[in-house]
Amino acid sequence: MWHSLLALIALCVFIVPTVYAQELGTSSVDFPYTGNRTAVWVVAQLHILFAAFILGAPIFVVIAEWLGYRKQDPRYDRMAREITKVTVILFSMTAVTGGLFIFVLLAAYPQFTTWFINQFYVVFAILYPALFIVETILMYAYLYTWDVWKGEKKGRHIALGIVLNLVCLLILFVINGPTSFMNTPPKAEGISPQDFLAAATLWDKIANQSWFPLSLHRIDGNIAFSGFIAGMIAAYMYMGSKTQEERAYYDWMGFVAIWIAVGGSLLQPFTGLLLAYEMCEYDFSFCPYMMADQLSMFFEVQGMMIGLLFLAINYYSWLSVRRIEGAEKVRMTILAPIVLVVVLPVTMWVMNTYWIPDPRSLAFLLPLVLSPFLLGRVVPMTVSARTVIKIGFIVMLVSDAVWLTPSGFMATGSDMPDELKLPEGWDFLASMPTKLSAIIVLVFVTVVNYVLYNRTIKQGTILWGKIDFVAQFVLIFLAFTSTWIMGLMGAVRSLVKKYFHVYGLVSDFTVESFTPTLSYSAWWISGITVSFLVIVTLAALVALRPSVSKVREPEVGPVPVGAK
Amino acid sequence: MFKKFGIALLVGGAVVAFARSQEVPSDFQLLWAIIALIGAMVFMLLDAKPLATMSGGKSFLAVAAFWILIVTVCIAGASLLPQSDPEDERGKISKLLEKQRATSQQGKADELIARAKALDEQVKALENRLKGLGGSQVATAIPSPAGDKSPAATSGGGGAAGDVMKVGEEQWQLQECYNCHKLRGEGGKKRGPELDNIGSLLTVEEIQQKIMDPKSFMAEGYDKEWTKGIMPNKFKDLMDPKEMLALATWLGSFKNTSINTPKPIKKN
C-alpha cells in the first residue's frame, strides 16, 4: 500500500503549492544549474514518459490477457501479470513526478501557472484527481483479483481490465485538453483571442483544434511505447535467465511485445501527420517554424531516429526468422520484391501529383501495395523469404535517405545561402509529399516482413530461447530509441509555441523564452531517457526478479522449445 | 564483411559522383554517403555470426557499454547538425515583446525585481570595496549595476519615428514574413507570392488592409492558399498600427517590374 501513500503525498504536493502560489504573486524561484525552463522541461517530460507507460501498458496487458484466454496459452497471462506488476510500481513514479511537476511549474512560473489552473479549475481540482484515484483503485483491484478471478471467472477479470482502460483513456483525453490548449487555444475570426477566451466555456477550451489529433497520436504512441518498454524488460529478464525454459519464455515475451509495439508504431506517422496538419490549419506559421526554421533540424533528427527504429524493428524480425527451423524453404511471390522496388518512386510521384486529401492518391497506391497479397497466388514465380527481406532493407535505406534529405543544411530558414540548398530540380526531395511517401514505404516494408514472418512460422518450427543474443540488444535499442523520440517530440510540441506560454494569448517574458539549440536539447533528452529507463529497469528487477528465483508458478506450464 | 563494405563504398561513391555532377551541395553528398555506410553495416549485421549468450556480469557490462554507445551517438549526431543561434532569436523576441512586457504586470514586477537585484549587487560591491580598503578610502568607481542595460540602450526602436522604412524592414524580419514570401531574391517557399513588385500593384493602404485582414485580397493563382487561409490572421494582434503602416510603406516601395508579382484581386 506504500504506492497509494506515495500517490496521496503527490496529490497533496499538487494541491498545496496551488494555494501557496496564489499568495506568492509574481516572484519565482530561480532553479540553479538548469534554469527554470529546463527544470520544468525535465520533470514534465519524465512525468509524461511514466504517464505514457501507465496509460499504454493496461491496453497492452488486457490485449495479452484476452489473447491468453482465447488461445488458452498461459504465457500471455504470465506476461500480462508481470507487466502489471511493473506498471503498479511505475504508477507511483507517475504520481510522484506529477506532483513534482506541478511544484516546479508553480515555483518557476507562479503567475502563469495560477492563471492556467484557473482556466481549467474543474479539470485540475476535480476531474483529474478524481479519475486518478479511480484509476489507482482499479489498477490495484485488477492486480489483486488476478488469482481470484481465474478459470471461469477470467472474463470478469478481463472486463475489469477494460474498465481500467476506459478510465485511462478518459484521463488521457481530459489532460490533453489543457496540454493542447497551450498550442491551439480556441479562437474565432474577427474576435481578439482574449475576448474569445473570456466568453469560452470549459468545453471550448478542452475541445480545441489540436486536442483530438493529439489524443489519437498519444493513444497509439502509448501502445507502441509500452510495447517497446515491455520488450526491454523481456530482454533484461532473458539476459538474467538461468534456465532454457526461462529463456524460451522471455524470448517469446520480447517477440510478442515488439509486435504489439509495431502495431502502434505503424499508425504513429499518420496520426502525427494529422496533428501537424491540424496545427498548421490553426496557424500556418507553425509549419515553416517546424519544417524550415528553428525546429527543422529537430525534425532531421526525428527522421534519423525513426529510420533507425524501423531498421531495428525489421532487423529483429530478421533475427526472429533465423531462429525458425525450415525458414530457408519459405518463398514468396516475385510480385513482392517487384512492388518493393517500385513502391518508393511510384508513391513519390502519386503524392506529389495528388496530394492529400485528393482520393486519387489512394486509387493509385492501394492496388499497388495490395497486389503481392491479392495476385500472389496467380503469379507462379517465387523468391526466397531471405531475398525479399534483404530487398526490403535496401528499400528502407533508400527511403531513409529520402526522408532525411532537407531543403537545406541550415538551422534557420531566414539565412539559408544558396550553396547549402538543394538545387532546382532536386527540391522535390524535400517536399512534404515526398517525406510522407518515405514513411509509407517504411510502413509497407514492415508489413511485408510481418506477413513473411507469419508465413514462416506456419511452415517451420520456432526455437524459442534460441534467438541470436544480439536480439536482446535490439530490444533495448528499440526501447531507448522510442523513449528518445518521445522526448524529442515532447520538446518540439512545447517549443512550437515559440515565445508564448499559451500560443497567441499569454506571452513568456522570461529570458529563457527562445528555442534552445538542438545540441543542448539532445543532452537533456538523453539525460531524461536514461533516467527513465534506469528507473524502469529497477522497477522491473524489483517486480520480477523474485519470481524467477522461486519455483515456477503452477498455472504456467513449461514452454516447449518448439512451440508456436 | 569486406565485400559488403566494398559494395557500400561503390554505391556511396556512385551516389556522391552523380550528386556532384548535378552540383548538389557537399552536405547532401555526405549525408547520402553516410547512409550508404549504414547500409553496409546493416548488411554486415544481417549475415553476422550469432552472438554467444552472455550471462551475469558480462551481460551487465555489455548493456552498460551499449547504452553509453547509443547515448553518445544520439548526442553527437544531434550536435553535428547545424545549430540555431539563440541570441539571434532572443533579440527578435525581446523586440517583439518589448511593448507588451512594459505594460504587463509581470513586466513591471520583473523590472522591480531587476532593480532590487541591481541595488543589492551595488551594496555588496560597495561593502567589498570598503572592506578591501579597510574603510580608509572612499569607493571612487562603483561599476554601474546592469548599467549597460539602460532603456535608451535597449530600446532599439528609439529612432522609429524618423525612419519608417527601417521599422518596416524590421517588422518584415520580426514577423518572419520571409518564411512564405520571397523578396529581393531571399526567403519564400512558394507558399505566398513574391513581393518585389507589390508597390506597383497595391497602394500602401491596400497592403495594410491585406496584412490586417488576409482575406481582403487574393493573389492571382493562389486560390488554394487563399481558401485555406494560409496567411495567418494574427498580425493585427502582433503589430501596432504604426508598425503595420511602416511595414506596408516599406513593402509599397518595392516596384521592381522585372519580377512577376501576381496580381492581387480584391475579395472583400
Cell of A113: 501557472
CB–CB contact A423 B22 (8 Å) = yes
pLDDT of residue A159: 96
Residue of A426, A476, A529 lying closest to B22 (CB–CB)? A426
Q: Buried (b) or exposed (e) across A278-291, using 16+ Cβ within 10 A? A: bbbbbbbbbbbbbb
CA distance B211 to chain A (A): 14
Q: Identify the segments of chain A with pLDDT beneath 50.
A: 1-2, 4-5, 7-25, 548-564
Higher pLDDT, B4 or A393: A393
Among A residues 95-134, those touching chain B with beta carbons less than 8 Å apart: 111
pLDDT of residue A80: 94
Residue of A289, A401, A481 lying closest to B35 (CB–CB)? A401
Report the candidate in A305, A240, A227 with the shortest Cα–Cα distance to residue A269.
A305
Residue B241, pLDDT above cutoff 70: yes
pLDDT class for B136, splitting at 50, 70, 90? very low
| In the block, residue with C-alpha cell 560597495 | B126
Is the ipTM of this structure higher than 0.90? no
Residue of B27, B36, B237 lying closest to A409 (CB–CB)? B27
pLDDT of B23-72, one tens digit each? 899 999 999 999 999 999 999 999 899 998 887 789 999 999 999 999 99
Mean pLDDT across the stretch B235-243? 87
Higher pLDDT, B268 or A287: A287
State the pTM of this model.
Answer: 0.85
CB–CB contact A294 B89 (8 Å) = yes
pLDDT of B182-229, one tens digit each? 888 887 767 889 999 999 999 999 999 999 999 899 999 898 888 888
**Residues from chain A contacting residue B43 (CB–CB below 8 Å):** 390, 393
pLDDT of residue A217: 95
**Residues from chain A contacting residue B32 (CB–CB below 8 Å):** 401, 405
B10, B2 contact by CB (below 8 A)? no
Mean pLDDT across the stretch B148-175? 63
CA distance B137 to chain A (A): 36
| In the block, residue with C-alpha cell 494555494 | A19
Q: What φ, ψ does residue B211 adopt, rounded to 5°? A: -70, -40
Output the CA–CA distances (angstroms, integers) from residue A451 to A332, A385, A389, B56, in the order listed.
10, 10, 11, 36
**Residues from chain A contacting residue B81 (CB–CB below 8 Å):** 297, 300-301, 409, 411, 518
Query: Cα separation of A400 and A398, whole Å?
Result: 5
CA distance A495 to chain B (A): 13
Quick one: DSSP state of residue B218? E
pLDDT of residue A442: 94
CA distance A470 to chain B (A): 6
| In the block, residue with C-alpha cell 491540424 | A278
Q: What φ, ψ does residue A176 adopt, rounded to 5°? A: -70, -15
pLDDT of residue B105: 63
pLDDT of residue A19: 38
Residue of B nearest to A527 (CA): B71
Among A residues 220-249, those touching chain B with beta carbons less than 8 Å apart: 236, 239-240, 247
Output the CA–CA distances (angstroms, integers) from residue A7 to A54, A136, A178, A194, in the order listed.
14, 9, 22, 36
pLDDT of residue B267: 83
Query: Cα separation of A292 and B35, whole Å?
Result: 22
Q: Is A300 on the interface with B (CB under 8 A)?
A: yes
pLDDT of residue B137: 43
CB–CB contact B97 A499 (8 Å) = yes
B82, A545 contact by CB (below 8 A)? no
User: How many residue pairs bridge chain A and chain B with CB atoms within 8 Å of each other?
Assistant: 200
pLDDT of residue B65: 96
Non-local CB neighbours of A556 within 8 Å, separated by 6+ positions: A74, A75, A77, A78
CB–CB contact B28 A414 (8 Å) = no
Residue B143, pLDDT above cutoff 50: no
Range of the domain at A311: 2-24+31-323+463-549
CATH class of B159-266: mainly alpha
Would you say residue A170 lies in a domain?
Answer: yes
Higher pLDDT, A120 or B91: A120
A6, A94 contact by CB (below 8 A)? no
CB–CB contact B81 A292 (8 Å) = no
Count: domains in chain A: 1
**Residues from chain A contacting residue B30 (CB–CB below 8 Å):** none
Residue of B nearest to A416 (CA): B187
CA distance A456 to chain B (A): 18
Q: Show me where the domains of chain B are located.
A: 1-45, 91-155, 159-266
DSSP-derived secondary structure for A285-328: THHHHHHTSTTHHHHHHHHHHHHHHHHHHHHHHHHHHHTEETGG
Q: Which of A70-84, B5-19, B122-136 has the highest mean pLDDT?
A: A70-84
pLDDT of residue A182: 96
**Residues from chain A contacting residue B55 (CB–CB below 8 Å):** 239-240
